[in-house]
């Protein structure tokens, strides 16, 4: 009887998987980084705007999507981008703070659920999406940077549309709003009572265009 149960379970799994459609989607786009300052490395006299990020080049990445037979899907992907970081840092040798500039790399890994407004097989499939987002920021290559790299966890939400070009290939347009912890965990100036303040959440707006290849 055990082999019969295993056969039934295996058949059910094969049937369930065969009902799915998989997609691989290379994409590229632009990230609009928040103008919110990141804080300061200078713990003795921190200023809110000692450190700032500016988007430097378009991002690019790839995602893999598993779609159900109906209106839902699950997606995992990675997005890589670069930004300029400007930071006023007091040298290890002492003296006044010096403005240093470098390029940092951000790798974002996301896991999202998708809800489509049209069933599978339609040429026009608008959708909404939401999920978790993990950001990995590289260590800025500036002298006397003591903050190291950064990992921040957050969430994203947004929407998009898939337009069929020909049967296995779709043009894909996405917009997402991303909220996560402020990179590098720096400190704001103390409040009036002398208590430390933190930057809190950091926001990014992402727009991408890509191709979805189904199989």
Residues paired with 31 in a beta bridge: 206
- Alpha-carbon distance 84 to 33, whole Å? 11
Q: Which of 62, 52, 67 is nearest to 104 (CA)?
A: 52
Q: Which residue has the higher pLDDT, 41 or 192?
A: 41
Pair 157, 176: CB distance under 8 Å: yes
- Note the pLDDT of residue 2: 54
Q: Per-residue confidence at 20, pLDDT binned at 50, 70, 90?
A: low
pLDDT at 14 over 70: no
| Residue ranges per structural domain of the chain | 20-214
pLDDT digits (tens, 9 = 90+) for 73-85: 999 999 999 999 9
Using the predicted structure, report yes or no on whether residue 11 has a pLDDT greater than 50: no
Kindly report, residue by residue over 54-103, the tens digit of the pLDDT: 987 789 999 999 998 889 999 999 999 999 999 999 887 778 889 999 99
The pLDDT assigned to 190 comes to 86
Write out the CATH class of domain 20-214: mainly beta
């Amino acid at each position: 009887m055990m082999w019969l149960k295993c056969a039934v379970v295996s058949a059910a799994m094969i049937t369930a998987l065969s009902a799915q459609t998989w997609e691989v989607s290379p994409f590229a786009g632009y990230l609009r980084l928040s103008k919110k300052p990141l804080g300061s490395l200078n713990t003795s006299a921190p200023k809110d705007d000692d450190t700032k990020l500016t988007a430097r080049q378009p991002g690019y990445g790839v995602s893999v999507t598993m779609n159900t037979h109906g209106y839902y899907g699950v997606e995992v992907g990675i997005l890589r981008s670069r930004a300029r970081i400007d930071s006023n840092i007091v040298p290890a040798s002492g003296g006044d703070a010096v403005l240093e500039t470098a390029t940092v790399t951000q790798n974002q890994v996301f896991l999202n659920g998708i809800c489509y407004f049209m069933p599978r097989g339609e040429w026009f499939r608008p959708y909404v999406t939401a999920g978790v987002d993990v950001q990995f920021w590289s260590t800025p290559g500036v002298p006397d940077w003591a903050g190291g790299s950064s990992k921040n966890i957050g969430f994203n939400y947004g929407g998009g549309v898939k337009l069929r070009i020909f049967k296995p290939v779709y043009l894909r347009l996405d917009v997402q709003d991303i909220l996560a912890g402020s990179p590098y965990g720096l400190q704001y100036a103390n409040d009036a009572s002398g208590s430390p303040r933190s930057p809190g959440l950091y926001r990014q707006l992402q727009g991408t265009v890509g191709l979805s290849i189904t199989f």
